[in-house]
Structure 1
Amino acid sequence: MKKSGKLNADGMPKLLTGDVFHARIQGHVAEQARLQSEHERRQVQREAHLVLMTAWKEADEARKQ
């Protein structure tokens, strides 16, 4: 089951100052931070791969000549 990303998606009333809801908020914030850092890590890997592929393509073209 995929989560919708909404903290109050089931339509039931919540005590917004309650410990359970506060824990859900903390978990949600931690998950968003993890996803953001994962995205940034993949972006760095993608850029490094692009640099390597560009160098390889230049070397391959030089070899073909």
Structure 2
Amino acid sequence: MNFDAPSGGYGRSAPIDEGDVLDVKIESIGREGDGIAKIEGFVVFVPQTKIGDEVQVRINKVTAKVAFGEVVE
């Protein structure tokens, strides 16, 4: 897969891939209420989390600008 970002994107290949399982800390909350973590500066949205949560997430989708994950139970 090629994750090279168009203008305004991350600017290089995403540091994560779909299917990765990662330990993250939720740093902020997005406008839709999802938690936001960052991996090497790359934004990962994680639903059903709050600021300060330290969770393990599975990455479900990676785009040029952001990724989406879910908490691994």
Q: Shorter-chain TM-score: which interval?
A: under 0.3
- TM-score, normalised relative to structure 1: 0.19
Give the structure with the larger helix fraction: 1
Q: Higher RCO, 1 or 2 (CA under 8 Å, sep at least 6)?
A: 2
Give the structure with the larger strand fraction: 2
